[in-house]
Structure 1
Amino acid sequence: MTASSPVLVVTQLDDATADVVIKELDRRAVPVVRLDPADFPDTVTVTARADGFGLAGEVQTPTRTVPLDRVRSVYWRRPGPYTAPEELDSQDARWCADQSRYGLGGILAALPGTHYVNHPWRNRAAEYKPAQLSAAAQCGFHVPPTLLTNQAEEARRFASEHGPVVYKPLYNTDYTDQDGRGLTVWVEEVAAEDLDAGVSRTMHLFQRRVDKVADVRLTAVGGQVFAVRIDGSPGLDWRRHYDDLTYTLIDTPPDVTKAVQDYLAVFGLVYGAFDFGLDASGRWHFYECNPNGQFAWFPASITDEITTAIADQLHHPDRDRR
């Protein structure tokens, strides 16, 4: 790759985390192309050829042309969903969206000689919480007792044996109210008597509540780790209380650093946002790892360090940063 080889940023329009990374790459005079698959086929076009040398061709946005075999690296952030022309009925629209996902999506995931942060298929594999919990235990993290079930009786028994217990959604499905406002299912404490027949309708995750004194968000970028202690949350889920929080960059215990690196290796990740509960004894309790978690809401001094690490990965993909 040459100095003119672009970094491809795959994300939707409103993405503050991608924005700060793009700004840093711009400061370094690294060419950047921003692309959202949701804009295909309306304003994005693609032509790809496959032969004995792999994929070649180009993707065009309204303002840029991207040679498929010249992409330096890909920052895969928060792309919008694949879509279809509005005039199509539901079955035809679904067919077209699937063709886009497996066609354009397949092309973007197979760019020759390209460094991904992270590869979209690695992201997807690492999003499943049961796989996260299993890998975390194998890598040496302390994982609170957890139950995955659709049986109310088992859930009640677990809550009685390990209470207090919290419920966590297994995936952040988009929900809106009647006015179109986004709704979120938060981490909440549940009692055994509250677990009724509704448990049988789908899979649920219950976990022993950590008696924590603070939360920790650790952002890993290759071989670098940035652990931030989060204090001030009046409730279980600190994401509900941003205005009350304070953030402090702290040292990461060596055993946690090793477990983080082992975990990234299990899933083939370059980047991961890990959440922990910190108890009074100093033990870090593993909650989850978002392979594509955000960080731009931190104070600028912390955001800048993480941004630099990601920009380094994208700017110099030939360097071994693991």
Structure 2
Amino acid sequence: MSHSGPVLVVTMIDDPTADLVITELHDRDIPVVRLDSGDFPATLSITARINEEGISGTLLTPTRTVDLHTVRSLYYRRPSGFAFPHLDEQDARFAVTQARYGLGGVLASLPGCLYVNHPHRIGDAEFKPSGLAAAVHSGFKVPETLITSDPEAAERFVEGNTSTIYKPLSTPLYRVNGVSCTVEVAEVSAGELDERVAGTAHLFQRLVDKVADVRVTVIGDRIFPVRIDSGLLDWRTDYKQLSYSIVTLPRSIEEALRHYLAHFRLVFGAFDFAVDRDGAWWFLECNPSGQWAWLEPPTGLPMVAAMADLLERSPR
């Protein structure tokens, strides 16, 4: 099996992190094919054959033809969704499903390919309850968490903790007056809870009395821990208030990181921790498709090079 072929980068057109990695790979003379699965079938096509020898075929973009057998690695970032606006609702739903399981199934089955990360493994790890349970099993400290649709259970949980926060279980974008928004992490009181809790599943979590946050980015065998000081409940709400510093990773945390990634069969993960006043690290989440490149300029950490090494499959 040849690993001298291209790196396949699957992401949306506007992805600055992917741009940096692709530039680094180009500088190393590593062939790269970038595509957005959402371009299928308008400007992207697939022909795959499966027989007793396995899967083979080609992927065709407007500028490249890719032999599926030669792809050395696939960097799965944030592709846009499939869309068939020319079809009515029922036919479009059928077409989207066929595209997902057809093109998606082929991209998930490339022989000898290193996935960063495999899309199916990303899907597994994106479920917050699964991630929190795996974190406990891996040896992390995890704030007490309740997932419920029962208003009374939610009220009891909030009343039983000094401070409680609400987190969305997933963060789909929605629009307010045409502006894209997300549901922010926020403190919640028992008085705010009512029968609307019964409308869907909710995640409530004991608030860690933190002094700082830490983002730990794992890229293959490389680990990049960065302390984030902000004074904010959720540092992602205002990047202008953040300051960064490289922090020493406790050995117990490194062992737990490896265990967690092995559990989900991931080679990349963006881990978030809250550090309390006693210096304990509390696991908050791991994003298997998380952002990381913005941390390189203020810290000098060679993260882009590390990702390029991984995709190149280089031991350097």
TM range (shorter): over 0.9
Structure-2 residue corresponding to 1:98: 97
8 Å contact kept, 2:217–2:225: yes
Residues paired across the two proteins, number: 316
8 Å contact kept, 2:3–2:71: no
8 Å contact kept, 1:297–1:303: no
SS at match of 1:216: strand
1:28 aligns with 2:34: no
Structure-1 residue corresponding to 2:125: 126
| Cα distance in structure 1, aligned partners of 2:301 and 2:16 | 13
Question: What's the offset of the Cα at 1:163?
Answer: 2.6
Letter in 2 for 1:175: Y
Structure-1 residue corresponding to 2:38: 38
| Cα distance in structure 2, aligned partners of 1:156 and 1:19 | 46
Structure-1 residue corresponding to 2:280: 283
Question: What's the offset of the Cα at 1:299?
Answer: 4.2
Question: What's the offset of the Cα at 1:196?
Answer: 0.8
SS at match of 2:20: helix
Structure-2 residue corresponding to 1:273: 270
Q: How does 1:86-235 map to 2 (within 5 A)?
A: 86-179=85-178, 181-233=179-231, 235=232
| Cα distance in structure 1, aligned partners of 2:159 and 2:280 | 24
Query: Deviation string for 1:149-186 (max 9, x for gaps)?
Result: 0111111111111130000000011201232x101100
Letter in 1 for 2:114: H
Letter in 1 for 2:162: G
| Cα distance in structure 2, aligned partners of 1:111 and 1:69 | 7
Question: What's the offset of the Cα at 1:4?
Answer: 4.6
Structure-1 residue corresponding to 2:70: 70
| Cα distance in structure 2, aligned partners of 1:80 and 1:260 | 29
1:306 aligns with 2:303: yes
Structure 1 unmatched runs, 5+:
none
Letter in 2 for 1:78: R
| Cα distance in structure 2, aligned partners of 1:64 and 1:48 | 16
> Residue 32 and residue 158 in structure 1: after superposition, are their counterparts in 2 closer, same or farther (change >3 A)?
same
Structure-2 residue corresponding to 1:58: 58
8 Å contact kept, 1:69–1:111: yes
8 Å contact kept, 1:275–1:286: yes
Letter in 2 for 1:219: T
SS at match of 2:302: helix
Match of residue 246, structure 2, among 249, 252, 258: 249
| Cα distance in structure 2, aligned partners of 1:272 and 1:40 | 28
Structure 2 unmatched runs, 5+:
none
TM-score, normalising length: structure 2: 0.97
Structure-2 residue corresponding to 1:258: 255
Backbone CA RMSD of aligned residues: 1.5
8 Å contact kept, 1:296–1:303: no
SS at match of 1:218: strand
Runs (4 or more) in structure 1 with deviation over 2 Å come to: 1-4, 301-304
| Cα distance in structure 1, aligned partners of 2:162 and 2:66 | 54
Letter in 1 for 2:215: R
| Cα distance in structure 1, aligned partners of 2:93 and 2:74 | 27
